């Protein structure tokens, strides 16, 4: 006897609120982590580039280790409607709080550790909130529209990040039309307050509706015991290991997918991480040209995610991911041998166009594999496996640059990571019939 999952799905208002959360959190990733605030923290005001970069790297490594260690437990505890809404709300507020506190990182060496700590803690809160956020997707979208809804979410995140980034660059950093003084780096520090306000403004609709979002009930089968109260860390890890063993018995495809997706997702992240570096260092882009390219590239990724979501529901996430990864391999290979700014514009935008649907479909693939009522726990494992291999793309980029003596060959390092993930995905067995909400 089994308790079946409810088939109710979200309203348009609930889907919109869910997508807007991605719009809000994207400001932290685009502004604080990637383009603006970490650049400020590694500037000469805080010390030598080697020292500031080492401190930032250490802080983010500690945060990543903590996330990898605890994300499955956060997901496990968010597999109840009230707990899920509470974890989402608390961690979103913490994300905004520690983002705002970064304002007090004055441009002095003694404030470097403080600034890095604020960013690291905020990144932990962001990841924990995202586990609960992703866990809402299967119940919100239902099996027939999960691809489209995931694509809209990724698209909203990309577009929101670009709008926020453009406002920061022209309002705070470059022309500074807001007129904020540059003394004591007040304009850079104020970016933290803007980002915190952006996070709260766009994440609030989902926070207010989190308790009423559709929820997939626990499906109890003969080999799955009813959930027991989780009262301690050791007991939680024990249940986590039992869940992994149970999933391995019922569907090894899920474990294989977690491994393959962790690898190719790191390659996808590497494309954005090193895109600006390559644009400036190899293809001679100025800072303003890099910014313009970043805006257009994120728009391309957003459109790719939205369109890819439609194909996801029609052909399945596996097909979307395979086609997207093959497209990335082709575009990246052409970039290795085509010189000049035009080559980077054409191939770079093609890469971003395929990154969007690959990211969105990866999230839905796991959603289709996850048993009802285990969404949080599985998306916690999704976060953990991703963090566990997050060193691959940067390492391979550096190895190929060093081996071949030119920055452009770092692209081959990233493509090697994407290629390994693709091969593993192709050899991932299909899940048994009945295990998925829709045949993946």
Is residue 42 within 8 Å of 52, Cβ to Cβ?
yes
Homologous superfamily in CATH for domain 10-211:
MFS general substrate transporter like domains (1.20.1250.20)
CA atoms 244, 246, 248, 252: torsion sign = negative
Range list of β-strands (E), 229-304: none
Q: Residues 351-375: what's their mean pLDDT? A: 84
Domains 10-211 and 250-440 share a fold: yes
Query: How is domain 250-440 classified at the CATH fold level?
Result: Growth Hormone; Chain: A; (1.20.1250)
Residues 6+ apart with CB under 8 A from 128: 67, 70, 71, 74, 87, 91
For residue 75, what are the CA distances in angstroms to 28, 132, 217, 338? 21, 6, 15, 45
How large is the C-alpha radius of gyration of the chain?
21
Supply the mean pLDDT for the chain.
81
Phi/psi for 283 (5° steps) reads: -105, 5
pLDDT in tens, 158-199: 888 889 888 888 888 777 788 888 888 898 899 999 999 999
The reported pLDDT for the residue numbered 232 is 60
* Residue 224's pLDDT band (cuts 50, 70, 90): very low
Residues 6+ apart with CB under 8 A from 34: 272, 273
* Residue 221's pLDDT band (cuts 50, 70, 90): very low
The reported pLDDT for the residue numbered 282 is 75
pLDDT in tens, 68-91: 777 777 776 766 667 788 889 999
Domain ranges of the chain: 10-211, 250-440
The reported pLDDT for the residue numbered 172 is 86
pLDDT at 383 over 90: no
Phi/psi for 282 (5° steps) reads: -105, -40
Residues 6+ apart with CB under 8 A from 155: 19, 302, 303, 305, 306, 356
């Amino acid at each position: 006897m089994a308790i079946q999952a409810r088939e109710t799905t979200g309203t348009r208002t609930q889907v919109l609120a869910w997508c807007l959360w991605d719009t809000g959190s994207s400001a932290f990733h685009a502004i604080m982590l990637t383009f603006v605030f970490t650049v400020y923290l590694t500037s000469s005001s805080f010390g030598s580039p080697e020292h500031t970069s080492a401190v930032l790297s250490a802080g983010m490594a500690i945060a990543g280790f903590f996330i990898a260690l605890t994300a499955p437990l956060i997901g496990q505890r968010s597999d109840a409607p009230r707990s899920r809404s509470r974890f989402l709300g608390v961690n979103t507020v913490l994300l905004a709080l520690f983002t705002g506190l970064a304002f007090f990182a004055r441009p002095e060496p003694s404030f470097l550790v403080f600034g890095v700590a604020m960013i690291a803690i905020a990144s932990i809160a962001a990841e924990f909130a995202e586990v609960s956020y992703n866990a809402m997707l299967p119940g919100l979208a239902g099996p027939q529209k999960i691809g489209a809804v995931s694509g809209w979410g990724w698209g909203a995140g990309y577009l929101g990040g670009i709008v926020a980034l453009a406002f920061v660059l022209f309002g705070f950093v470059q022309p500074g039309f807001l007129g904020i003084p540059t003394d004591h780096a007040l304009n850079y520090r104020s970016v933290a307050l803007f980002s915190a306000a952006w996070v709260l403004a766009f994440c609030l609709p989902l926070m207010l509706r989190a308790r009423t979002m559709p929820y997939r009930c626990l499906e109890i089968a003969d080999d799955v015991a009813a959930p027991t109260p989780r009262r301690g860390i050791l007991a939680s890890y024990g249940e986590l290991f039992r869940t992994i063993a149970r999933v391995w018995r019922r569907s090894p495809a899920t474990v294989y997918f977690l491994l393959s997706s962790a690898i190719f997702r790191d390659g996808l992240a590497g494309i954005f991480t090193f895109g600006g570096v390559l644009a400036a260092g190899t293809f001679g882009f100025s800072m303003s040209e890099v910014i313009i390219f970043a805006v257009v590239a994120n728009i391309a990724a957003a459109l790719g995610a939205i369109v890819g979501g439609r194909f996801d529901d029609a052909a399945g996430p596996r097909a979307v991911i395979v086609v997207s990864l093959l497209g990335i391999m082709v575009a990246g290979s052409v970039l290795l041998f085509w010189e000049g700014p035009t080559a980077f514009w054409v191939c770079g935008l093609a890469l971003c166009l395929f990154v969007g649907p690959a990211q969105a479909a990866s999230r839905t693939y796991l959603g289709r594999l996850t048993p009802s009522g285990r969404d949080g726990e599985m998306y916690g494992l999704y976060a953990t496996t991703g963090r566990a291999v997050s060193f691959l793309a940067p390492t391979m980029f550096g190895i190929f640059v060093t081996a071949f003596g030119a920055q452009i060959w770092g692209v081959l390092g990233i493509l090697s990571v994407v290629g390994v993930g693709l091969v593993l995905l192709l050899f991932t067995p299909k899940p048994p019939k009945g295990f998925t909400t829709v045949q993946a």
